[in-house]
Structure 1
Amino acid sequence: MKIKSNKKIVFKALFLPALIFANQNYSNEHFSKAIDSYNNRAFQDSYLAFKEYLKNNKLDSNFTFILARSAYEIGKFEEAETLYKELLKQTPDNSRVKLELAQTYFQQKRYKEAEALYQDVLKDSTLPLNVRKNIELTLDSLDKKSQRNLLKTTLSIGYGYDSNTDNNSNDDVVNWGNIPLSIPDKKSDHVAEYILALNHTFKIKENLTMDNKFVGYMQKFNNDHNNDLSLAVFGTGLSYYTTKSKSSLAFDYNYVWLDNSTYLFNYILTPSFDYQIDKNLIYKTKIKLIKKDFKQTDYEFRDSMYYELSNSFVLLTEKFGMNSLSFVFGTDNKDKGKAWNVDYNFASLRYENMYPITQSTILTSGIELYKDRYKVNEEVLYNNKKRDDKLIFDLGVLQSLNKNLSLGATIRYINNDSNQNIYEYDKYVVRTNLYYSF
C-alpha cells in the first residue's frame, strides 16, 4: 500500500510556488499545457507536456521543482529523486526541496535517508508550527516502522439501551392455519458492554508481517439475561505489502457464550486483498469462510458452513471525508440435511461515511440494505420460504479527548420486513462508549 503522510498540508503551508504566467516560455504550447495541467492537478499530463518541452528547451529551478512534483505524484520516484537532488546542489539549504526529497525516500521505503532529511529540516527555525508538527508525526511513524514488534491495546466500556431485545414481531397475533397465536410484547432493556482488544504485529521482513489478535467482548443486560453474550476471539495471519497493495490470509477462532453457557464455536478463514488505485481511491476484496459449530443440543441443527464475498471501494475526499461503498453476498448452508431456518442466500449493499467535523471530532454515518432468501419451505406455520428485507441506519460521533482517550456515541435503527410476520420487527439501539488505547 502507498504510505500516507501529511505531505499535502506541508506543501500548502510552505511550498506553493509563485508561478509567473507572463514568463516568456508560457507562449510555448507544451509549456503552457504543462503549467495548466499542474495547476489542475492533472500530474500525468503535466509530466508528459514538460517532457515534450524539454526536447528543445531547458527549465529553470522553479519549473524543475514542478516537474519533480509531477513525477512524484505519478509514482516515478527515482526520477523525482534525481530532480530534487539537482535542485539541492543549487540551493543546499532549501528546506522546501529537502522535505520533498525526504518524502520521495519515504515512498521508496528508504526510511533512514528520509529520517535524516526530516531531522535536518527540523533545524530550520523559520519552519511554520503546523509543518513542524506534521514532520514530527511522520518521524514518529518512522520510529514505529523500525520496530519488529508492535502491540496496541484498546479498552472500552459502554452503556446503552435496546428497544427490542428479543427482536419480537411488530404484530400481536399470527395465524397457524386457522389458529391465532399470541406474540410476546416487545421487551426493552438497558445494556452494558465491555471490550478488550489486543493487536500484535511482528515484522518478519520489511514487506511481510505476522498479525495476531485477541478480542474479549461482554454484553450484559440489566434484566433480560437470556440475551447476555460473551465472546472471545483469537486470530493470527500473514500480510504481504507492495507499494500499492496488501495481501492477507487470516485465521480466527471464536468462542461464544450465551446466558453464561457455551453456545457456539466459529472457525474462520479470511483471505483478503487491498489495492490503492490512486492516492484517494482504494479497492478491497475479501472472502470469509466460517465453520459454525453449535454446542448446545437445542441448537445443533444450526451447524453450517458460511461463505461470504465482499467488495468495497474507499474514496477519500477533502469536502466529504472518507466514503466507503461495499457489496457483500454469500450463503449459509447446513452441514447435514436441510432446515428451513438455516439454509439461505444473502446480499448486502452498504454505504458508510466518516466526516471530520473538527480535528478531534468525527461524525460517522451508514445505511445498509440487506436481503436474505431461505432455500427450504417452512411447512407448519406459513408453508412458504422465508424472505427478509432489512434496512439499517447508523449515526455516531467520536470525540478525541487526548492522545489515548476517546468518547463515542452511536444510534442504530433496524427495520426487518419479512414474508413471515413473526419475524417482522423494528428496533433501535443507543450506546455511549469510552475508549482508551495505548
Structure 2
Amino acid sequence: MRTKMKKSIILSTLLFSNIAFANQNYSNEHFSKAIESYNNRIFQDSYILLQKYVKENKLNKDTTFVLARSAYEIGRFDEALVLYQNILKNDPNNNRVKLELAQTYFQIKDFDQARVLYNEVLQDNKLPINVRKNIELTLNSLDKKSQRNFLKTTLSLGYGYDSNTDNNSNDDFVNWGNIPLSIPDKRSDHVAEYILALNHTFKIKDNLTMDNKFVGYMQKYNHDQDNDLSLAVFGTGLSYYTLKSKLSLAFDYNYVWLDDNTYLFNYILTPTFEYQIDKNIIYKSRLKLIKKDFKQQEYGYRDSMYYELSNSLVLLTENFGMNTFSILFGTDNKDKGEAWNVDYNFASIRYENLYPLTESTILTSGVELYSDRYKKEEKVLYNNKKRDDKIIFDLGILQSLNKNLSLGATFRYINNDSNQNIYEYDKYIVKSNIYYSF
C-alpha cells in the first residue's frame, strides 16, 4: 500500500522539486524527455525513458536517484531498492537516499531494515525539526506494525425502561373455539444492564490474525425477575486480509441464563467476507450457523439448527454519514420431530445510518422490516400457520467525552403484527449507557 503522506512529508525539506543536471548530455532525446517527465511527476514516462537511456549510457548518482524515485512511484519497489542501495555504496552518509531507501523497505514490509535506516538519520544533529518529528511518527507507526498482541476492554453500565417486558398481546381476549381466553395486561419495568467486553487480536502475519473475545452481559429488571437474563460469550476465529478484502471464520460459544437458571447453549459458526469495491463502498456477506441446545426440560422442544445469510452494502458519504443497507434471510428448524412454534423461515431488510453531528457526537438511526413464516400448523387455538410481520425503529446518540469515555442514549420501537392475535404486540425501550474503553 502506498504511503504518500509519510514519503512527501519526511522528504519535503530534503528533496529538490526540479532536477538540474549541468553535466548531463541534454542532447540525448530520451534523457531530456525523462527529466521533463520527472519534473512534471509523470513517473511512468520518466521510468520508461530512462530505461531506454541506460541501454547506451551510464547513470551518475543524480540520474540514478531519478530512476529510483520513478520506479518507486510506479510500484517497482524491488528495482528502487537496488538503485538506492547502489547510491549508498558510494555515498554512505547521504540521508536523503537513506530516507528514500527506508520508505522503500516500508513498502515491501521489511520493517526492521526501515527502522534501522530511520534511526541512522535521526543521529544527524542538523536534521530539520519537521523532518525529525515525522521520522519519529513513522517509527511509532512501525512499532505498532511490529506489535503482535492487541487487547481492548470495554465496560458499560446502562439503565432504561421497557414498556412491555413480556411482549404481551395488545388484545384483552383471544378465542379458543367459542371460549374467550383472557390475555394478561402489559407489564412495564425499569431495567439495568452491565457489559464487559474483552477483545484480543494476535497477529500471526501481517495479513493473518487470530481474534479472540469474551463478552459478559447481565440484564436485571426492578420487579419482573422472570425476564432477568445473563449471557457469557466465548469466541475465537481467524481473519485473512488482502489489499481490498477480508475473509474471516469465527466460532462462538454462548451460555445463557434466564432468571438465574441455565437456559440455553449456543454453538455458532460464522464465515464472513468483506470487499472494498471502491474508497466509498464496502460489500459484506455473512453466513451464521447456530446449534441451539435448550437446557430446561420444558423448553427442550425448541432445540434447533438456525441458518442465516446476510448481505450488506456500506456507503460512505460526505454529507450523509455512513449508510448500511442489509438483506437477511434464513430458517430455524427443530432438530427432531415436529413443533408448530419452532420451525420457520424468515427475511429482513434493514437500513442503518451513522451521522457525525460533530467530531465527538454521532447520531445513529435504523429501520428494519422483518417477516417470518412458520412451517407447522397450530391446531388448537387458530388452526393456521403462524406468521409475523415486524417493524423495528432505532434512534440513538453517542457522545465521546475523551478517548476512553463515552455516553450513549438509545430508543427502540417494535411493532409485531401477527395472524395469531396472542402474538400481536408493540413496545418501546429507552436506555442510556456509559462506556469506558481501554
What TM-score comes out, normalization by structure 1 length?
0.75
Instruction: Name the structure 2 match of 1:436.
Output: 436
Give the superposition deviation at 1:143.
2.9
In 1: Cα distance, 2:149 partner to 2:249 partner: 19
> After the TM superposition, which of the residue ranges 317-326 and 383-392 deviates more from structure 2?
317-326
SS in 1 for 2:276: strand
The within-5 A match list for 1:64-103 is 78=77
Instruction: Name the structure 2 match of 1:308.
Output: 308
Give the superposition deviation at 1:324.
1.1
The within-5 A match list for 1:226-375 is 226-375=226-375
CA 339–52 in structure 1, closer or farther in 2 if over 3 Å, else same: farther
SS in 2 for 1:184: coil
In 2: Cα distance, 1:399 partner to 1:139 partner: 32
CA 180–309 in structure 1, closer or farther in 2 if over 3 Å, else same: same
Instruction: Name the structure 2 match of 1:202.
Output: 202
Give the superposition deviation at 1:108.
5.3
Q: Aligned letter for 1:420?
A: Q
CA 250–282 in structure 1, closer or farther in 2 if over 3 Å, else same: same
Q: What do residues 288-313 of structure 1 show as CA deviations (whole Å, max 9, x unaligned)?
A: 11000000011000000000111111
Instruction: Name the structure 2 match of 1:391.
Output: 391
In 2: Cα distance, 1:159 partner to 1:292 partner: 29
Q: What do residues 93-147 of structure 1 show as CA deviations (whole Å, max 9, x unaligned)?
A: 99xxx89x95x876654555777899989x75569xxx97xx95x7655433311
Instruction: Answer yes or no: is the 8 Å Cα contact 1:77–1:107 preserved in 2.
Output: no
In 1: Cα distance, 2:398 partner to 2:253 partner: 29
Q: Aligned letter for 1:189?
A: D
CA 318–50 in structure 1, closer or farther in 2 if over 3 Å, else same: farther
Give the superposition deviation at 1:190.
0.6
Instruction: Name structure 2 gaps, 5 residues minimum.
Output: 13-39, 51-66, 89-93
In 2: Cα distance, 1:47 partner to 1:161 partner: 63
CA 148–387 in structure 1, closer or farther in 2 if over 3 Å, else same: same
Instruction: Name the structure 2 match of 1:31.
Output: none
Instruction: Answer yes or no: is the 8 Å Cα contact 1:393–1:413 preserved in 2.
Output: yes
Instruction: Answer yes or no: is the 8 Å Cα contact 2:77–2:107 preserved in 1.
Output: no
Q: What do residues 366-394 of structure 1 show as CA deviations (whole Å, max 9, x unaligned)?
A: 11111111000111111111111111111
In 1: Cα distance, 2:190 partner to 2:358 partner: 31
Instruction: Name the structure 1 match of 2:219.
Output: 219
Instruction: Answer yes or no: is the 8 Å Cα contact 1:77–1:108 preserved in 2.
Output: no
CA 111–284 in structure 1, closer or farther in 2 if over 3 Å, else same: farther
Give the superposition deviation at 1:247.
1.2
Q: What do residues 68-96 of structure 1 show as CA deviations (whole Å, max 9, x unaligned)?
A: 9996xxxx5859989xx9xxx9xx999xx
Query: Percent of counterpart pairs with the same letter?
Result: 72
In 2: Cα distance, 1:11 partner to 1:395 partner: 43
Q: Which runs of 4+ in 1 moved over 4 A?
A: 7-12, 46-54, 67-71, 76-82, 104-121, 123-127, 138-142
In 1: Cα distance, 2:6 partner to 2:416 partner: 45
In 2: Cα distance, 1:246 partner to 1:271 partner: 11
The within-5 A match list for 1:138-177 is 142-177=142-177
CA 51–313 in structure 1, closer or farther in 2 if over 3 Å, else same: farther
SS in 2 for 1:300: helix
Instruction: Answer yes or no: is the 8 Å Cα contact 1:144–1:150 preserved in 2.
Output: no
SS in 2 for 1:203: strand
Structure 1 residue 178 and structure 2 residue 182: aligned? Answer: no
Instruction: Name structure 1 gaps, 5 residues minimum.
Output: 16-34, 36-45, 55-63
Instruction: Answer yes or no: is the 8 Å Cα contact 2:72–2:80 preserved in 1.
Output: no
Q: Aligned letter for 1:414?
A: I
CA 436–141 in structure 1, closer or farther in 2 if over 3 Å, else same: farther
SS in 2 for 1:358: coil
Instruction: Answer yes or no: is the 8 Å Cα contact 2:167–2:426 preserved in 1.
Output: yes
CA 380–114 in structure 1, closer or farther in 2 if over 3 Å, else same: farther
Give the superposition deviation at 1:206.
2.0
In 1: Cα distance, 2:367 partner to 2:45 partner: 44
